[in-house]
Each structure stands twice: as C-alpha cells, then as structure tokens.
A = this chain, B = another copy of it.
Amino acid sequence: MLNGLSIGALSRRTGCTVQTIRYYERIGVMPQSRRTGGNQRRYTAQHLDRLHFIRHARELGFSLEQIRELLTLADYPDQSCAEIDRIARTNLAAIESRLRRLELLRHELQRMASACRGGRVADCRVIRVLSKHDQCHTEHIGSPEMFED
C-alpha cells in the first residue's frame, strides 16, 4: 500500500510465515523496516524483492549462511561473480551427493518393502534387514547427517 506492506501482507505475497520473516530480520538476512507509531513493521518493494530472493534460494537448497554471502556479493555489481559461482557449485555438489545417497536408500527400502507382505513380525523382512546389515544389498556406509540437510 501507500505507506508500506504489513508483515502479514508480505507473508501472503511470499508464502513465508510471519514468524519466519521476523526470524530473518533478527538474524540479519532481512533488513529492518520502518515502523508505524504503534511499532508495527511496514515494508517496501525492496523488502519484497529481498524476501523473494531469500525464499527462492532456500527452495534451491542454499543455507541461510550462503544466502547471506550471496546477498553481500550481489551488492557489488562490478566485481567478478566467481565467488557466487563457487557457492552455487558447492550447493550443486551437495545436492548431487544427497541425490546419489537417496537413490541407494530408495533401492534398499524398495527391496525391503516389496519382500514384506503381511507375514508375521518374526519373519518380517524389514526387521531382518534392519537387524543385520549383511542382509542388505546396498553399501550405504555413511552417517545419517550426510543424508540430512
């Protein structure tokens, strides 16, 4: 509107919750906005753009720390974008590694689940595979945190 978007309006336009917007401000990836006399936030079109950028980058798997870097780098349009390229490629590599790992897990789970069809727990393939790694066809060595975000 004329004197700025409320936090709720910004939320509706970006699909980002009100709490998350406040969180982004607190950790400094969103700049502070002006406030009304009653201390409510009022945002500009620039804030809207920045929040779109952040959300889009989050959807593409960038961490908030990476986003912070990207935003800093984006502020110097005359510099080389080599560093930006590096961050994007790092993120791509991380996503590719997660993909490979998930493919292995899918394979093993498919094998497990297809072998289990309504028998008794004592004969359950799922429990058996989980109990003994040597019954597992896949070499999914690696810590769970690899697999998470």
Contact = CB atoms under 8 A, between A and B. Distances in A.
A143 interface: yes
Contacts of A92: 106, 109-110, 113
B77 A130 contact: no
Interface in A88-143: 88-89, 91-92, 95-96, 98-99, 102-103, 105-106, 108-110, 112-113, 116-124, 126-127, 129-133, 136, 140, 142-143
B96 A99 contact: no
Q: Which residue of A58, A84, A119, A148 has the most chain B CB atoms within 10 A of its CB atom?
A: A84
Contact of A95 (B81, B106, B144): B106
B127 A70 contact: yes
Question: What is the count of identical protomers in the complex?
Answer: 2
Nearest to A103: B99
A91 to B, nearest CB: 6
A16 to B, nearest CB: 9
Interface residues of A, number: 65
- Interface SS majority for chain A: helix
Contacts of A61: 102, 105, 109, 147
12 contacts: A53-B130, A53-B131, A56-B131, A57-B130, A59-B105, A59-B140, A61-B102, A74-B127, A77-B120, A80-B118, A81-B126, A84-B121
